[in-house]
Amino acid sequence: MDYKKYIKSIMDFPTKGINFRDITSLLEEGPVYHSAIDELAEFAKSKQAEIIVGPEARGFVIGGPLAYSLSIGFVPVRKPGKLPREIATVSYEKEYGVDTLCMHKDSIKPGQRVLVTDDLLATGGTIEATINLVKQLGGVIAGVAFLIELTDLDGARLLKEYDVLSLIKY
Ligand code: PRP
Ligand code: ADE
């Protein structure tokens, strides 16, 4: 399917110079959203994924339905102060300053095959931090899946050792 035509591009959002690729227009189209999740689910199945991990917030609208479709678990990656049990954390450089992501320490079993997903790959900082968290907990990266990859930012350079699927590329 030509998913790209369902993505709206908004220039200078949220700041000047950013061409924002808006997935909400795709999510509004039920059959298109369904088809995109089905394609990502086929990929996850082919990699024998046993659990899905996705970062807040937009990673949840991909990872949740993906896990449901495969009848496997979903593990949220969250900003500090949101998860109630014991957590593992990783800090990473953003364009301005440092950010931290967290996962429940007991959410992944050692050796478990993990499909990591998010709506969009830009610089790769978010997905790299998420992968590092999964590895810290002993998970094996079965694959990495996105709806959108912004190729000019070359986040894929950080994912060379993994099987990666992006449904839309800009
Ligand atoms: C966006 C997007 C990815 C991340 C990609 O999330 O959903 O998670 O940026 O950028 P990167 O590859 O440069 O790390 P954002 O931080 O805007 O948060 P949101 O999902 O809560 O909107
Ligand atoms: N996250 C990081 N860069 C983005 C972009 N250009 N569009 C939408 N989400 C983003």
What's the complex ipTM? 0.98
Q: What residue spans define the domains of the chain?
A: 3-169
Topology of domain 3-169 in CATH is: Rossmann fold (3.40.50)
Ligand 2 atom showing the smallest separation from residue 153 Cα: 3
d(CA 53, CA 74): 6
d(CA 39, CA 46): 11
- Any atom of ligand 1 within 6 Å of the Cβ of 149: no
> Tens digit of pLDDT per residue, the chain (170 long)?
999 999 999 999 999 999 999 999 999 999 999 999 999 999 999 999 999 999 999 999 999 999 999 999 999 999 999 999 999 999 998 767 899 999 999 999 999 999 999 999 999 999 999 999 999 999 999 999 999 999 999 999 999 999 999 999 99
CA of 29 to the centre of ligand 2 (A): 20
d(CA 43, CA 65): 14
Which pLDDT belongs to residue 24? 98
From 28, 29, 56, 58, active-site residue: 58
Ligand 1 atom showing the smallest separation from residue 155 Cα: 12
